[in-house]
Structure 1
Amino acid sequence: MSRWSDLSPRNKSLIATSAVVDLVLKAVALKDLAGRPSDEIRGPKWAWALGVTFVNGMGIAPLTYLLLGRRRSENR
């Protein structure tokens, strides 16, 4: 197992960038989830919120919600 100090500057930058992208995706997904009515979401809101918040997978859970978890309404 490597220590942070053992990583190259390039690897440190990749890790930091990935973390920021993951946080932004989570924030966008949670904001959308909070403002969207339940009938426009596939599945329970609480399950999506837990998944988006706690599943650590490089943005996979927020992207899954944003691409597949929402129903499109005629008004949006």
Structure 2
Amino acid sequence: MTRTGTSRSTTRRSARGWRTRWQDLTAGQQTALLALASVQVSLAATAWADLALRPAEEVDGGKGKWAAIIAINFVGPVLYFRYGIRR
């Protein structure tokens, strides 16, 4: 057993510590991870599309700044829709 309570057969040592491999995740964990990833990609794509189509005068701050912020997982697109659009 390792420090985290998992056996060495389900983890491997990397430069950053112990990492679990995709094939070692349960089907439920894989499904949850794919669902979260699809939500993240959908949020980011929607926010970037809105930013691209919205006139600059309707964006609070620079478009370049918001394009970079949107890249931050989950938080960026939510911040853009909450604070980046002038209403």
Partner of 2:31: 13
**TM-score, structure 2 length as denominator?**
0.74
Counterpart of 1:69 in structure 2 is 84
Bigger helix share:
1
Gaps of 5+ in 2: 1-18
Other structure's SS at 1:50 match: helix
Structure 1's consecutive aligned runs of 4 or more residues displaced over 3 angstroms after TM superposition are none
Which structure has more strand as a fraction of its residues? 2
Once residues 30 and 45 of structure 2 are traced to their aligned partners in structure 1, the CA distance between those partners, rounded to angstroms, is 23
Q: Is the 8 A contact 2:58 2:85 kept in 1?
A: yes
CA distance in 2, matches of 1:51, 1:71: 16
Bigger Cα Rg = 2
List alignment gaps of at least 5 residues for structure 1.
none
User: TM-score scaled by structure 1?
Assistant: 0.83
Identity %: 35
The 2-side partners of 1:8 and 1:42 are apart by 43
Aligned residues: 69
